[in-house]
A and B are shown apart, each in its own frame.
Chain A
Amino acid sequence: MQEQEEIYSLEDQKRIALRNCGLIDPEEIRDYIARDGYKALAKTVRRSSPPEIIAEVKSSGLRGRGGGGFPTGVKWELTREAVGREKYVICNADEGDPGAFMDRSLLEGDPHSIVEGLTIAAYAVGAQQGYVYVRAEYPLAVRRLEKAITDAKELGLIGKNIFRSNFSFDLEVRVGAGAFVCGEETALLNSVQGDRGDPRGKPPFPATEGLWGQPTVINNVETLANIPQIILKGGDWYSQLGTADSTGTKVFALAGDVCNTGLVEVPMGTTLKEIIFDLGGGIPDNKGFKAAQTGGPSGGCLPEEHLDIPMEYDTLIEVGSMMGSGGLIVMDEETCMVDVARFYLEFTQDEACGKCTPGRVGTKRLLETLNKIVEGRGEVEDIEKLKALSRDIKKTALCGLGQSAPNPILSTLQYFEEEYKAHVIDKDCPAGVCEELV
Chain B
Amino acid sequence: MVNIRIDGLDIEVEVGITVLEAAQKLNIDIPTLCYLEELNEVGACRVCVVEIEGEANLQPACMYEVREGLEVRTNTPQVIRARKEVIELHLSDHPFDCLTCAANQNCELQSLAKQHGIRELKYEGDRNQFYIDDLSPALVREPSKCIRCRRCISVCSDIQEVHIYDVIERGFDTVAAPAYNESLMDTPCITCGQCIMVCPTGALHEQDNKAEVWEALADESKHVVIQTAPAIRVTIGEMFGMEIGSLVTGKLVAALKRVGFDKVFDDCFGADVVVLEEGQELMERLESGRDLPQFTSCCPGWVKFCETFYPSMLDNLSSCKSPQQVFGALVKTYYAEQEGIDPKNIFSVSTMPCVAKKYEAQRPEMNDSGQRDVDAVLTTRELGEMIKEIGLDIKNLPDEEYDQPMGQATGAGVIFGSTGGVMEASLRTVYEKLTGERLEKLELKEIRSDGFKEAEIDLKDGRTIKAAVARGTGKARQLMDKVVSGEADYDFVEVMACPAGGCVGGGGQPIYSGRDKWNRMYEDRLQRSEGLFKADREKECRVAHENPDVKKLYAEFLEEPHSEKSQQLLHTSYQDRQMYTHEEQYAEERKS
- Residues of chain A touching chain B, judged by Cβ–Cβ distance below 8 Å, are 179, 181, 196, 198, 201, 203, 349-358, 360-365, 368, 388-389, 392, 394-398, 403
Contact = CB atoms under 8 A, between A and B. Distances in A.
Contact of B148 (A354, A389, A394, A396): A354
B46 A354 contact: no
A392 B45 contact: no
A351 B170 contact: yes
Contacts of B78: 395
Nearest to B174: A354
Contact of A365 (B43, B65, B89, B167): B89
A161 to B, nearest CB: 28
A395 B57 CA distance: 5
Contacts of A361: 89-90, 92-93, 172
A252 B78 CA distance: 37
Given A364-B172, A394-B57, A355 B44 contact: yes
A358 B58 CA distance: 12
B81 A353 contact: no
Contact of A196 (B43, B63, B89, B166): B166
Contacts of A403: 57
A352 B49 CA distance: 20
A356 B44 contact: yes
B43 A398 contact: yes
B63 A201 contact: yes
B203 to A, nearest CB: 15
Given A196-B166, A355-B44, A361-B172, 19 more contacts: A179-B170, A198-B167, A201-B60, A350-B170, A352-B172, A353-B170, A354-B167, A357-B46, A357-B86, A357-B89, A361-B93, A365-B92, A365-B123, A394-B57, A395-B49, A395-B58, A396-B58, A397-B46, A398-B43
Nearest to A372: B125
A357 B45 contact: yes
B14 interface: no
A396 B46 contact: yes
B82 A396 contact: yes
A349 B93 CA distance: 15
13 contacts: A181-B170, A198-B167, A201-B43, A349-B171, A351-B171, A354-B169, A354-B172, A360-B174, A365-B92, A368-B126, A395-B49, A396-B49, A398-B60
Nearest to A350: B171
Contact of A396 (B57, B65, B93): B57
Contact of B45 (A203, A356, A364): A356
Contact of B174 (A353, A358, A362, A395): A353
A358 B86 contact: yes
Contacts of B175: 354
B85 interface: yes
A220 B179 CA distance: 33
Interface string B177-188: 000000000000
Contacts of A368: 125-126
Contacts of B92: 361, 365
A365 B85 CA distance: 12
Contact of B172 (A181, A196, A349, A395): A349
A405 to B, nearest CB: 11
Contact of A360 (B42, B47, B166, B171): B171
A135 to B, nearest CB: 15
Contacts of B49: 395-396
A358 B89 contact: yes
A201 B52 CA distance: 14
Given A357-B86, A357-B89, A365-B125, A398 B170 contact: no
Contacts of A355: 42, 44, 148, 167, 174
Nearest to B172: A364
B167 A364 contact: no
Given A357-B86, A392-B81, A352 B44 contact: no
Contacts of A358: 46, 85-86, 89
B440 interface: no
B172 A396 contact: no
B147 to A, nearest CB: 8
B589 interface: no
A364 B92 CA distance: 10
Given A349-B171, A361-B90, A398-B46, A389 B85 contact: yes
Nearest to A371: B125
A144 B552 CA distance: 82
A354 B42 CA distance: 13
B46 A360 contact: no
A356 B170 contact: no
Nearest to A362: B89
Given A365-B92, A365-B125, A354 B85 contact: no
B173 interface: yes
Interface string B145-181: 0001000000000000000001101111111000000
The list of the 5 closest CB pairs from A to B, nearest first, reads: A354-B174, A361-B89, A392-B85, A368-B125, A201-B43
A179 B60 CA distance: 25
Interface in B70-97: 78, 81-82, 85-86, 89-90, 92-93
Contacts of B126: 364, 368
